[in-house]
Amino acid sequence: MKLLLCKSCLDVLKLHEKTRFCYCGESGGRLTDSQGRRAVIWGENAETIGIANSSIVEAISENKEREESGFPTDHQGLPYGSSIDGWIIPSTSPAVIKEKEVTIGRDLYDENHKP
Ligand SMILES: [Zn+2]
């Protein structure tokens, strides 16, 4: 799974084949294939986060088991859940093309953020 992170507004959203923009509109992107392996993102402050889909499934399952056996707790005694595998996709990765400026879909952002 690929997520778009905007370092300006700290919005995080899942990339789809349809162009999406962050809350502030500085960053945007979309998947360029239906399998979600490749994407294009726009904006000086746009980053892409990769999350291993299998780790999400495993973490949900592990959390379910812990509901019965008890969750581990942090130093304040608060329970914490299972971890997932995530990383910032490097700028040199061929899986994500980064452009500095929004070149496609600006009209979609404007359309969806009318006052
Ligand atoms: Zn933003």
Q: How far apart are CA 12 and CA 10, in angstroms?
A: 6
Q: pLDDT by residue (tens digit) across 65-106?
A: 998 888 888 899 898 899 999 999 999 999 999 987 666 666
Q: How far apart are CA 55 and CA 57, in angstroms?
A: 5
Q: pLDDT by residue (tens digit) across 95-111?
A: 999 987 666 666 665 56
| Cα 8 to middle of ligand 1, angstroms | 5
| Cα 27 to middle of ligand 1, angstroms | 5
What is the reported pTM? Answer: 0.81
| Cα 45 to middle of ligand 1, angstroms | 8
> What protein residues have CB closer than 5 angstroms to ion ligand 1?
6, 8-9, 22, 24, 26-27
Domain boundaries, the chain: 2-51+86-112
Chain centroid to CA 92: how far?
A: 18
Q: How far apart are CA 40 and CA 28, in angstroms?
A: 9
Instruction: Look at residue 103 in the predicted model and tell me its pLDDT.
Output: 60
Instruction: Report residue 46 as tokens.
Output: 């746009």
Say which amino acid occupies 80: Y
Distances (CA, A) of 63 to 12, 50, 68, 79: 23, 21, 9, 11
